[in-house]
């Protein structure tokens, strides 16, 4: 039974970036405004996420790591109206099975914190009272240590895994308005470096400056939403409906074509549906194709956060929730195309 759980857990938490993502999402769901991520040896020795969120009540210490324990949805119907990032109650239980998990937490209603150590089955090994501000710190030591083959593969590709994790973290830094992030790494030799540090602004542009520097921002234009005309609708095989209202809105920033600010690789593109980082492949393809019509051989910087009723999306199709099923996806593609074309025609290269 333990083995099965271990194998399944390896499918929930596929990589270092998924581990980080799950912990950061838990902090965001707990209402944190400060989130500090710390790594040792690029995450192979330790990954720690510390927040100033609501904390956990002692009555819940035992259930936290139970499979399918979640405080976030009570019935299946709630899935339609999902406001939180987590909802499956699989992350902590899986992380327990895959590494040594320690949680230090102080609930907002208490004035003492508790350090809880769990074993690989999610059972509490020890609890110790400690001093801490309100919030939660989750510490994972030696990720994948219970899956030797995976661990070997992970440490072999450490730099790549680490870079992927940084990309994922940048996405949260950009989209989480009013949340201050820091991320640092300490190497085996003891030298500490800051990977990113933001000051929790409410404007995406400010967050972009924090993460990528002021140069990046000078090239960005805002794309306004443009409802598609008959021609574009037809192109996507949509019969125009009498009700022409579009069930989407977005915040869309892209590097402008006149500044020729593209990059050789598409490593600065951030897509979100309802502020959830994701990889909507068709959307990404459209954006890059249109950009290339105006600016050959380069990729733009992209920040695109699509907002729609949560009932119209399904984030439950892959364990890492990166793939999203969007109702009316074709209409979304048509809207994005129209909006980009309208903007770029004003900025001929
Ligand atoms: P999910 O996020 O899908 O509910 P998780 O396994 O990620 O499941 O977390 C289990 C539960 O632990 C959450 O529902 C939440 O109640 C609690 N929890 C996890 N991380 C934190 C945190 N940083 N602050 C407060 N509560 C947390
Ligand atoms: Mg979660």
CATH number at residue 278: 3.30.230.10
Whole-number Cα distances in Å, 308 to 206, 248, 270, 305, 314: 24, 5, 17, 10, 11
pLDDT in tens, 213-267: 998 888 899 999 999 888 888 898 887 665 667 888 999 999 987 656 678 888 8
Average pLDDT over residues 296-303: 87
pLDDT in tens, 151-180: 999 999 999 999 999 999 999 999 999 999
58 Cα: distance to centroid of ligand 2 (angstroms) = 18
133 Cα: distance to centroid of ligand 1 (angstroms) = 18
91 Cα: distance to centroid of ligand 1 (angstroms) = 8
Residue 82 has pLDDT above 60, yes or no: no
> Nearest-CA neighbor of 317 among 269, 279, 267?
279
CATH number at residue 128: 3.30.565.10
Task: Work out which ligand 1 atom sits closest to the CA atom of 64.
Answer: 12
Which residue segment(s) compose the domain that 245 sits in? 218-346
ipTM exceeding 0.85, yes/no: yes
What pLDDT is attached to residue 324? Answer: 67
Environment class of residue 163 by beta-carbon count within 10 Å: exposed (0-12), middle (13-18) or buried (19+)? middle
- Candidates 18, 34, 70, 116: which one to mutate for ligand 1, based on the most atoms within 8 Å of Cβ? 70
Q: Which residue has the higher pLDDT, 293 or 34?
A: 34
Q: Is the CA virtual torsion 280, 281, 285, 288 positive or negative? A: positive
Residues 166 and 236 in one domain: no
Of 141, 175, 210, which marks where a domain is finished? 210
**Separation CA 178–CA 162 (nearest Å):** 25
86 Cα: distance to centroid of ligand 2 (angstroms) = 4
Residues 188 and 249 in one domain: no
- State how many domains the chain has: 2
* Residue 30 near ligand 1, beta carbon < 6 Å: yes
What pLDDT is attached to residue 246? Answer: 81
Residues 68 and 167 in one domain: yes
Of 210, 228, 263, which marks where a domain is finished? 210
Residues 131 and 254 in one domain: no
Residues 239 and 193 in one domain: no
* Residue 64 near ligand 1, beta carbon < 6 Å: yes
* Residue 313: strand pairing partners: 326
* Residue 47 near ligand 1, beta carbon < 6 Å: no
Considering only CA atoms, which residue is closest to atom 16 of ligand 1?
Answer: 71
Residue 337 has pLDDT above 70, yes or no: yes
Whether the CB-CB separation of 18 and 24 falls below 8 Å is answered with no
Q: What stretches of the chain adopt beta strand conformation (E)?
A: 34-40, 46-51, 100-106, 113-118, 124-130, 135-141, 180-186, 192-197, 220-222, 249-255, 269-273, 276-277, 302-307, 313-314, 325-326
Considering only CA atoms, which residue is closest to atom 15 of ligand 1?
Answer: 71
234 Cα: distance to centroid of ligand 2 (angstroms) = 41
Residues 40 and 188 in one domain: yes
Lowest-confidence segment of 2-16, 76-90, 271-285 by average pLDDT: 76-90
* Residue 298 near ligand 1, beta carbon < 6 Å: no
Residues 232 and 192 in one domain: no
What pLDDT is attached to residue 215? Answer: 86
Considering only CA atoms, which residue is closest to atom 19 of ligand 1?
Answer: 26
Residues 200 and 246 in one domain: no
Residues 201 and 224 in one domain: no
Task: Work out which ligand 1 atom sits closest to the CA atom of 22.
Answer: 7
Of 210, 238, 273, which marks where a domain is finished? 210
Residues 290 and 192 in one domain: no
Residues 128 and 198 in one domain: yes
* Residue 48 near ligand 1, beta carbon < 6 Å: no
Whether the CB-CB separation of 287 and 322 falls below 8 Å is answered with no
Average pLDDT over residues 63-84: 64
> Nearest-CA neighbor of 18 among 110, 76, 126, 91?
91
Residues 56 and 155 in one domain: yes
């Amino acid at each position: 039974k333990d083995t099965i759980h271990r194998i399944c857990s390896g499918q929930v938490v596929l990589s270092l970036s998924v581990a980080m993502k799950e912990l950061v999402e838990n902090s965001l769901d707990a209402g944190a405004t400060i989130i500090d991520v710390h790594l040792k040896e690029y995450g192979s020795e330790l990954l720690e996420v510390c927040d100033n969120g609501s904390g956990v009540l002692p009555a819940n210490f035992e259930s936290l790591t139970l499979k399918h324990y979640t405080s976030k949805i009570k019935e299946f119907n709630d899935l339609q109206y999902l406001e939180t990032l987590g909802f499956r109650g699989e992350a902590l239980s899986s992380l327990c099975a895959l590494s040594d998990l320690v949680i230090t937490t102080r609930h907002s209603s208490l004035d003492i914190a508790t350090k809880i150590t769990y074993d690989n089955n999610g059972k509490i090994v020890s609890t110790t009272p400690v001093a801490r501000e309100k919030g939660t710190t989750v510490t994972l030591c030696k990720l994948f240590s219970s899956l030797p083959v995976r661990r070997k593969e992970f440490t072999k590709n450490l730099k790549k895994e680490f870079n992927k994790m940084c990309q994922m973290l940048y996405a949260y830094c950009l989209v989480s308005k009013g949340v201050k992030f820091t991320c640092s790494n300490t190497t085996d030799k003891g030298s500490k470096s800051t990977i990113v540090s933001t000051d929790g602004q409410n404007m995406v542009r400010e967050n972009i400056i924090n993460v990528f520097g002021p140069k990046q921002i000078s090239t960005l234009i805002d794309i306004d939403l443009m409802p598609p005309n008959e021609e574009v609708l037809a192109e996507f095989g949509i019969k125009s409906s009498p009700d022409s209202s579009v069930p989407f809105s977005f915040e869309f920033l892209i590097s402008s074509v006149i500044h020729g600010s593209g990059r050789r690789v598409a490593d600065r593109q951030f897509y979100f549906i309802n502020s959830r980082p994701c990889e909507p492949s068709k959307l990404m393809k459209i954006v890059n194709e249109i950009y290339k019509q105006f600016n050959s051989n380069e990729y733009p910087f992209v920040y695109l956060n699509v907002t729609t009723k949560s009932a119209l999306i399904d984030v439950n199709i892959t364990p890492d929730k990166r793939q999203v099923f969007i109702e009316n996806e074709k209409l979304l593609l048509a809207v994005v195309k129209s909006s980009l074309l309208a903007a770029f025609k004003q900025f001929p290269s």
